[in-house]
A = this chain, B = another copy of it.
């Protein structure tokens, strides 16, 4: 993309309404615009990051054997009356009446609707196990929406639902989700720690939240410092293997890690003092096993293969897709702006032309642009007639992890400058070497 043809409305001033750094930087970098309290338009740069995150979530869900579909945003109230949650949910549920005076709602979650789909079409153990998921906009009518997309009202979420014949099979689905989530967050450059949590209105006993450590996190968290040394990495995993998934669960959940809701000071005190950590975290996902809560209430029964009809065991598993955009910024920024991890950056590399209009500089930038595009990488080429300082400030603000600077002096010596946004370190390389180097950096992410 050429910046002269893009829509990137960066702000020079820091918006006064934004209380946390991710909200400030998303507004300043022209990623979002508020249209109503807690409701945002995703401007082109923000939209690109949102799509990258969504794509990673899709890929990892499909890798785990989960099947994508899509449920609508609006739901009939009747389904929620069946489960008993219509009255229980409270004022955070946006209730709507249509032109025929039918009670509807903007879905905050989809346990009822997916259970209805399941009971309409599945009647036998032979069709199990089954995990369906979707990524769809949801709405929670927060009384005080704030922190930008971190606590918005209209938000994008992946929610998935497993259906299994037995509790044991459902717990394997739970473990499988935990493993897939570890992979998902690591691909985004995040360390998200599974912590034992409280189930809240979804119900159920088994639940873990995934928390990203950040000073601005809304939850206080308590953990054993050994947990931050764990990495899932790119190890091979057979998602059908009960043992392999169970082993990962144990590896990542056996050390103490809890939110304030489940914190137990006595147990925490047993950790060696030098490993005790108290910090703040941002919740970016949660997994639940809740057994037959919804299948009992809504009659989702299957033939068990032994002449019986039994309620199906379920769980639900969510990733906050739009919230992740803010969480990643909270975890990765500096005074100059955002620092995108390679896995989610909106453009792979920025090209800064120090002397727009100079034939050699323009030509070299065009060559770089074509070379990156040919390799499947997306460059953002700052082809505006601006001073170098302004171009660097924009690139630093929007946070592309790699920048190539093209100037007449370097070109005279046959080189351009490749700069890491994270470290600020630069190296001089030929055009070809610079393209090869960037392609090599992104190879694990393609």
Contacts and interface: CB of A to CB of B under 8 A. Distances in A.
B96 A94 contact: yes
A99 B143 CA distance: 8
A398 to B, nearest CB: 15
Contacts of A7: 67, 69, 121, 127, 130, 132
Contact of A74 (B72, B76, B121, B154): B154
Contact of A43 (B69, B79, B98): B69
A153 B73 CA distance: 11
B76 A35 contact: yes
A71 B41 contact: yes
B139 A44 contact: no
Interface in A50-101: 50, 65, 67-76, 79, 91-92, 94, 96, 98-99
Contacts of A74: 36, 39, 106, 139, 153-154
Contacts of A69: 7, 41-44, 46-47
A29 to B, nearest CB: 13
Nearest to A58: B51
A227 interface: no
A253 to B, nearest CB: 28
B36 A50 contact: no
B75 A137 contact: no
Interface stretch (A112-120, A167-175, A190-198, A305-313): A112-120
A391 interface: no
A44 B72 contact: no
Nearest to A113: B35
A220 to B, nearest CB: 28
B102 A36 contact: yes
- Report which residue of A36, A50, A106 has the largest number of chain B beta carbons within 10 angstroms of its beta carbon: A36
A117 B32 CA distance: 10
A36 B75 CA distance: 7
Contacts of A429: none
B42 A70 contact: yes
A298 interface: no
A99 B91 contact: yes
15 contacts: A7-B121, A7-B132, A35-B72, A35-B75, A36-B76, A41-B69, A41-B71, A41-B113, A42-B69, A44-B69, A47-B69, A73-B137, A73-B154, A74-B106, A74-B154
Nearest to A132: B7
A6 interface: yes
Contacts of A30: 121
B73 A73 contact: yes
Contacts of A75: 35-36
Contacts of A68: 44, 47-48
A44 B73 contact: no
The residue among A46, A70, A120 with the most chain B CB atoms within 10 A of its own CB is A70
A41 B79 CA distance: 14
Nearest to A79: B35
Contacts of A424: none
